[in-house]
């Protein structure tokens, strides 16, 4: 097979089922790959992806980070906030947002995250104890992250189920759909209208939630506008909700597939954090991120023209044997460190990385204090079909409760 026949087809269901053999061929045979049909370039080797993330001047974010046509363009920052901006606009907005979204606020949230996790776990394990097979995504992994974001922002508990449903609607794609469907547009509008109401309420009466903190954030008289706050809240829903749901389900799936690695975790819960890290490396939620060439870029003796789309593939980078020993083996506790790119690298490093890690650690620790084993029903597991994230829509499991 010639290089021109290697396909990186981000919308193809076969690719979603297992992208890793495709990545291997890209790294070996076409480290700079061109897809004429969809009009993009792709970088698959660890060093190239890392350099790409860190080159935020030539590889611009301002048209968004998704390949989906409706998510791309000069208005991308309306829903993707500073993720779809370059400096200085990116730095200004990120710095202001950071005033509210502090590591301390995340630390103080941990007891509430634990309570929310325990509540969803109790419901799931009650069903399991009655001999029912339970859907780990429906009952737990799909509920917790959005509820945590709602807790952080100050969404009343009574509204959280509805907010979660809208958030799911924003992300859903049927097979073969390469653009944002009308149902997702409607769900997005519903969410934005809801958050507008919240912001208006906080303008009248501040509380101690993140929404109020964003309204109060100020640097030398500079403050966030309502539109900027809404853009960030929407980014949290898209970037903070879905990726963490996928992380939790991917951890459960690969733990099940590697019982020799998972076994020790039951007896030593300090292994949960390295289990999360290895999941982030082995099968990261965010597989593909788009950038737009600003100016001109020369790679592998090829000039990539101004305005072209370059895809960075952290999912491939994490399986690069140039950087990791036996990268296709799932090994809890391996040395990963700064080689991980699940949260990007450089100027756009994910502001929510510490929140995602804390949530995953709390969720899996609480689960493992309550169970003595579980089995995934692989025949009934359903993958999510998305051009940029990887994980499960449904993950049925049989659980043995302690």
Residue numbers of the domain that contains 90: 3-401
Residue 163 forms beta bridges with which residues?
Answer: none
Q: How much is the pLDDT for 175?
A: 64
In DSSP notation, 140-155 reads IITTHHHHHHHHHHT-
Distance CA 219, CA 226 (A): 16
Q: How much is the pLDDT for 4?
A: 53
Q: What is the pTM of this model?
A: 0.94
Distance CA 359, CA 156 (A): 20
3-class DSSP state of 99: helix
Q: How much is the pLDDT for 176?
A: 63
The residue written with tokens 């200085």 in the block is 88
* CATH code, domain carrying 282: 1.10.630.10
Distance CA 265, CA 283 (A): 19
Query: CA angle, 172 as apex, 168 and 178 as ends, to 5°?
Result: 150
Q: What is the β-pairing status of strands 40-43 and 309-312?
A: parallel
The residue written with tokens 């290089």 in the block is 3
- The answer to whether 323 and 281 have CB atoms below 8 angstroms apart is no
Distance CA 344, CA 318 (A): 12
Q: How many domains does the chain have?
A: 1
Distance CA 79, CA 87 (A): 18
List phi, psi (to 5°) of 160. Answer: -70, -35
User: Which H or E element spans position 20?
Assistant: helix 20-29
- The answer to whether 351 and 97 have CB atoms below 8 angstroms apart is yes
Q: Look at residues 349, 323, 317 and name the one whose alpha carbon lies nearest to residue 61.
A: 349
Distances in Å between the Cα of 240 and the Cα atoms of 17, 153, 359 are 23, 12, 11
For the stretch 18-22, contacts whose Cβ atoms lie closer than 8 Å and that sit 24 or more positions apart, written own/partner, are 19/287, 19/315, 19/316, 19/390, 20/315, 20/316, 20/319, 20/328
Q: How much is the pLDDT for 3?
A: 53
3-class DSSP state of 33: strand
Residue 135 forms beta bridges with which residues?
Answer: 396
Those residues of the chain that have pLDDT short of 70 are 1-6, 172-179
List phi, psi (to 5°) of 230. Answer: -60, -40
Tens-digit pLDDT profile for residues 139-197: 999 999 999 999 999 999 999 999 988 988 887 666 666 667 788 889 989 999 999 99
Write down how long the chain is.
Answer: 402
Distance CA 194, CA 375 (A): 39
What letter does residue 67 receive in the DSSP assignment? S
């Amino acid at each position: 097979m010639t290089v021109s026949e290697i396909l990186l087809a981000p919308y193809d269901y076969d690719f979603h089922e297992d992208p890793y053999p495709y990545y291997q061929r890209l790294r070996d045979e076409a480290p700079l790959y061109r897809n004429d049909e969809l009009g993009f370039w792709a970088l698959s080797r660890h060093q190239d992806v890392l350099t790409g993330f860190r080159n935020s001047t030539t590889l611009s974010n301002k048209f968004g980070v998704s390949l989906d046509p409706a998510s791309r363009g000069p208005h991308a920052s309306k829903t993707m906030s500073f993720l779809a901006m370059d400096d200085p606009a990116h730095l200004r907005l990120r710095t202001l947002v950071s005033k509210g979204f502090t590591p301390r606020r995340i630390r103080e949230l941990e007891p509430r995250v634990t309570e929310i996790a325990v509540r969803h776990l109790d419901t799931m394990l009650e069903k399991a104890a009655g001999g029912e097979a339970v859907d780990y995504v429906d009952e737990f992994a799909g509920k917790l992250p959005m509820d945590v974001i709602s807790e952080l922002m100050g969404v009343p508990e009574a509204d959280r189920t509805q907010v979660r449903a809208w958030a799911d609607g924003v992300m859903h794609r049927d097979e073969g759909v390469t653009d944002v469907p009308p149902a997702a547009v409607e769900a997005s509008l519903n969410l934005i209208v809801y958050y507008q109401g919240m912001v208006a309420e906080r303008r009248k009466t501040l509380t101690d939630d993140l929404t109020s903190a964003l309204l109060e954030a100020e640097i030398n008289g500079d403050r966030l506008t309502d539109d900027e706050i809404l853009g960030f809240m929407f980014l949290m829903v898209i970037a903070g909700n879905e990726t963490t749901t996928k992380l939790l389900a991917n951890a459960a799936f690969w733990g099940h597939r590697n019982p020799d690695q998972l076994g020790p975790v039951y007896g030593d819960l300090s292994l949960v954090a390295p289990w999360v890290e290895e999941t982030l490396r082995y099968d990261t939620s965010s597989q593909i991120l788009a950038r737009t060439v600003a100016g001109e870029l020369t790679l592998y003796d090829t000039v990539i023209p101004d305005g072209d789309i370059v895809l960075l593939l952290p999912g491939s980078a994490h399986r690069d044997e140039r950087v990791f020993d036996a990268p296709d083996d799932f090994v809890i506790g391996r040395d990963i460190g700064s080689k991980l790119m699940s949260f990007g690298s450089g100027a756009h490093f994910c502001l929510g990385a510490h929140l995602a890690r804390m949530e995953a650690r709390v969720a899996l620790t609480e689960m493992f204090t309550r169970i003595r084993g579980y089995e995934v029903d692989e025949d009934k597991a359903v993958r999510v079909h998305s051009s940029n994230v990887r994980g499960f829509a449904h993950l049925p499991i049989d659980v043995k409760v302690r």
